[in-house]
A and B are shown apart, each in its own frame.
Chain A
C-alpha cells in the first residue's frame, strides 16, 4: 500500500513532442504528489507538485494531471527539448509525514 508505481521505465521522444509519464498509488492517505527531475551525478530537483484537491496544475511546459478516483497522476512535458533528457521520478507523501515514497523512475531521452 506504500508503493508508487511508475511507467514507462524509459521514453524516447522527438524534439517538440509531448512526453507523458504515469504514476499510480494505492494509499488514500497520500495528499501531496511531487515530480522530481534528476540528471546523472546530481540529486533530484523538484519540478512541480500537486495536491488532490485539484485535477491539473501547469507550470511552464510542465503539467500534472491528477485523477483522484483512479488514484493516478501523470506528468506531461510539452514541446520536449534535448535539455529535458533526464530521469523523472514521481513521489507521494501522506498528510502527517515528511516521508516521500518514490516511483522507480523514467529515463527520458529527447532527440533533436
Chain B
C-alpha cells in the first residue's frame, strides 16, 4: 500500500508568481484535503476535493484553487504569491467509505516566497 506522496519537496518563489503543488492520495482513498501549516502553528484547512469537485473550503482567498483528477490525485494552485504564503503545504487523503474517515497526511511541500 502506497502512502500519500507530495511534490516537490521544497520550492522557492518570488512575490507575485504562481505555484502548483501536487499530491497523490493513498491507495483506496477518494478524498483529498489541503492544509497550510505556518512555522510553529497547527495546520489550517484550505479546502477538500471529493469526486473531482471542491467540497468544503476554509478561510482562504480565491487565489488558492485546486483540482482533483479521476485517479484521485490533486493539485493546489496559488496565484499572486504573497510573503505570508510561505509555509508547509500538506495534503491529506481519506476514504469516505470506511470507518472514521481518518485523514492520512503526506510529508508536505515547503514553499518559501521571497
Bound together: yes
- Of B35, B42, B94, B101, the residue contacting A105 (CB under 8 A) is B42
Q: Are B56 and A99 in contact (CB under 8 A)?
A: yes
Task: A43-B90, A91-B42, A105-B41 are known; give 5 further A-B pairs, CB within 8 A.
Answer: A34-B102, A42-B107, A45-B105, A89-B43, A99-B48
Within 1-58 of A, Cβ neighbours of B (below 8 Å) are at 6, 32, 34, 36, 41-46, 49, 51
Interchain CA distance A99-B55 in the complex, whole Å: 10
A43-B4, A44-B90, A105-B40 known; A98-B104 Cβ under 8 A: no
A-B pairs with beta carbons under 8 Å apart, 7 shown: A42-B108, A44-B43, A46-B103, A51-B100, A91-B42, A99-B33, A105-B41
Task: Please tell me if B31 contacts chain A, counting CB pairs below 8 Å.
Answer: yes
Residues 81-107 (chain A) with a chain B CB within 8 angstroms: 89, 91, 97-105
A42–B107 CA distance with the chains assembled, in angstroms: 5
- Interface readout for B8-46 with A: 1 if CB under 8 Å, 0 if not? 000000000000000000000001010100001111110
Q: Which residues between 45 and 71 of chain B lie within 8 Å of chain A, taking CB atoms? A: 45, 48, 55-56, 58
Q: How many B residues are at the interface, by size bracket?
A: 20 to 34
A-B contact count (CB 8 A): 58
Q: A43 near B106 (CB under 8 angstroms)? A: yes
A103 close to B42 (CB less than 8 A): yes
Residues of chain B within 8 A of A32, CB atoms compared = 100
Q: For chain A, which range describes its interface: under 10, 10 to 19, 20 to 34, or 35 or more residues?
A: 20 to 34
Q: Assuming A32-B100, A46-B103, is B45 touching A100 (CB within 8 A)?
A: yes
- Would you list which residues of chain B between 79 and 114 have a CB under 8 Å from chain A? 90, 92, 94, 96, 100-108
